[in-house]
C-alpha cells in the first residue's frame, strides 16, 4: 500500500513494543546468546544479536545463522522462549523513561493506541501485564496473528481494518528500520525512536517521517499531526 498523498488529522498510533515502549534489549540479547550457546552455535556479539530485534524469532535465528535448517531454527525458537522466561524471572523489563506519562497524555487527547509486535501475542500480553501499564491498548497484534511479518505492512493493516481507521490518519512508531518500513508499506506515516536499538541514521535511511530521541518528544509530533 502506498502512503496517502493527503494525510488526515491523527487518530491512531501503532507502537512497536520491544525497544519502543519496553526496555527489553538486554533481555533479548542475553537470551539470544544463551540460546546460541545451548544449541552449540557460535555466540555472536551483542551488536549482531541486537540487530535482529524486530524480526520474528525464526527469521531472527535464520538471519544470524544462515546455514540453519528449518528444523534447527524452530529448535532455536523453542529454546529461546524457555530461556527468555528464565531471564525475565531474574530482572523483569520496564517501560522506557517517560513512556507511561506519554501514553497517559495521548489517551487524554483521545488518540487511539495499538501495538504491532514480532513477539508472540501471549508473550506480549504477559509482559504488558507484568509491567502494570496503566493505559489500555485498543488492539495488540503479535507474530502469530498475521501471515506476513515486519517489514510487510500486514500487522498494521490488520489493526486499521479492525479499528476502522484509515492509514492516512495513522502514525507507526518504532525503534528499528523494519518498523518504519512496515508503517510505510501499510500507507501510514512513521516516527523512529533513537533510544531503542537503531541509530537516527538507520531510521532516516528507512524513510522515517519523524525521528525522536525520547518518549515525551512524541507529543510534539502528535501536535503537528492533529491539526
Return the H-helix or E-strand segment holding 37: helix 25-38
| 91 phi-psi bin (left φ>0, alpha ψ -120 to 50, beta other) | beta
Q: Which long-range contacts (CB under 8 A, 24 or more apart) does 37-42 make?
A: 38/79, 38/83, 39/72, 39/75, 39/76, 39/79, 41/65, 41/76
Active site residue 16: yes
Among residues 16, 18, 23, 59, the one annotated as catalytic is: 16
- Please answer whether residues 154 and 136 qualify as being in contact, where contact means their C-beta atoms are separated by less than 8 angstroms: no
Q: At what angle do helices 121-130 and 70-90 cross, to 10 degrees?
A: 10
Q: List Cβ neighbours of 126 (8 Å cut-off, separation of 6 or more).
A: none
CA dihedral 189, 116, 60, 205 (to 10 degrees): 10
CA dihedral 29, 78, 158, 100 (to 10 degrees): -40
Q: Which residues are annotated as catalytic?
A: 16
Amino acid at each position: 500500500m502506498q502512503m496517502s498523498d493527503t494525510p488526515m488529522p491523527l487518530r491512531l498510533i501503532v507502537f512497536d513494543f520491544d525497544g519502543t515502549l519496553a526496555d527489553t534489549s538486554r533481555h533479548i540479547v542475553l537470551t539470544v546468546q544463551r540460546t546460541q550457546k545451548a544449541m552449540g552455535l557460535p555466540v555472536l556479539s551483542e551488536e549482531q544479536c541486537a540487530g535482529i530485534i524486530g524480526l520474528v524469532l525464526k527469521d531472527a535465528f535464520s538471519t544470524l545463522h544462515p546455514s540453519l535448517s528449518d528444523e534447527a531454527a524452530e529448535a532455536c525458537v523453542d529454546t529461546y522462549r524457555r530461556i527468555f522466561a528464565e531471564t525475565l524471572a531474574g530482572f523483569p523489563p520496564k517501560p522506557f523513561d517517560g513512556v507511561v506519562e506519554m501514553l497517559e497524555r495521548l489517551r487524554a487527547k483521545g488518540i487511539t493506541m495499538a501495538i504491532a509486535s514480532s513477539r508472540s501475542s501471549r508473550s506480549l500480553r504477559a509482559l504488558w501485564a507484568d509491567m502494570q501499564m496503566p493505559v489500555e491498548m485498543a488492539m495488540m497484534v503479535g507474530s502469530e496473528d498475521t501471515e506476513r511479518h515486519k517489514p510487510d505492512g500486514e500487522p498494521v493493516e490488520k489493526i486499521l481494518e479492525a479499528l476502522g481507521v484509515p492509514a492516512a490518519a495513522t502514525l507507526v512508531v518504532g525503534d528499528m528500520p523494519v518498523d518504519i518500513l512496515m508503517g510505510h508499506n501499510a500507507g501510514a506515516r512513521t516516527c523512529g525512536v533513537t533510544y531503542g536499538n537503531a541509530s537516527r541514521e538507520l531510521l532516516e535511511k528507512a524513510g522515517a517521517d519523524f525521528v525522536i530521541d525520547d518518549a515525551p518528544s512524541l507529543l510534539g509530533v502528535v501536535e503537528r499531526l492533529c491539526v
